[in-house]
Amino acid sequence: MNALKALANSTAAELLRVRKWSAVWVIVGAWLALSLSFGYAFNYVAYKTGDDNFAGDGASKAQLLGELMPASIPDVIVSGLPMFGGALAMVVGALVAGNGFGWGTWKTVFTQGPSRFASVGGSLVAVTVFIFAMMAATLALCAGVSILIAVTEGEAITMPGLVELAQSFGAGFLVLEMWALIGVLVGVLAKGPALAVGLGLVWSLVVENLLRGVGNLLSGIEAVTNALPGTAGGSLAGAIIGGPNGTPGVLDAISGERALLTVAAYVVVAAAGAVVVMRRRDLA
């Protein structure tokens, strides 16, 4: 009971710390702005103007309107997660873990208590709660905007099925959780936020894409890229959507079942790795 109480107290303290950071709210705002822009704004402009731009991608006006309706919410909430959402989630994880070194928080907590396991566990739980809230905000935004467009265009409001919506929400949560916990692990290994954020962004936005490009030419490299977190997250989103939809990061490189197992494995390994490293880390 004492261990659970310590974990709960650490989680509450970490959530308070996260809520007070303006940087975190900037990240949330950036993600919601990206979701709104790429999920609805560009497609709606293409639908209203009939312009042949990247948002339309050659789709008819009826197809564009269908993608803006509430029934398409499950596709919209996951389409931007593998690349843009994942990169931002990694930044959050790196900030949560890395700033504890720069501010001396970890040294103070480990000196005065609770245990290292409870302290690090509280950070991991707080990050998980934050990611869940981030997904819930994304769902609320997509639902509100799609219903508003349906009403404006005089279309019937047909909501997606609960099972379909739950699958999409769960997949999106796992993708963001994977990247956030990888960010925590990198922050612990780097012992600071700046290097961790830089390495995480370069890896998720640049390195993996380059490796996948090389993997298309060399079969040996392709086997490696299929096990990377970006490929797993992109393929899981692709399985929900039904294949690549033109959004960067959405893939069909591996099956949905394999992608789910790979993402779950990264979540477990990243969380366990952060705990193990912090329990052995010299903070001097």
How far the first Cα of the chain sits from its last, in Å, is 31
Helices 162-190 and 256-280 sit at what angle, rounded to 10 degrees? 30
Residue 147, CA distances (Å) to 142, 158, 169, 250 in order: 8, 9, 18, 25
The tens digit of pLDDT for each residue in 236-251 reads: 999 998 877 667 778 8
Residue 246, pLDDT score: 67
The tens digit of pLDDT for each residue in 70-115 reads: 999 999 999 888 878 999 999 999 988 888 777 777 777 777 767 7
The tens digit of pLDDT for each residue in 198-208 reads: 887 888 777 88
Helices 116-152 and 22-36 sit at what angle, rounded to 10 degrees? 30
Q: Indicate whether 119 pLDDT > 90.
A: no
pTM: 0.90
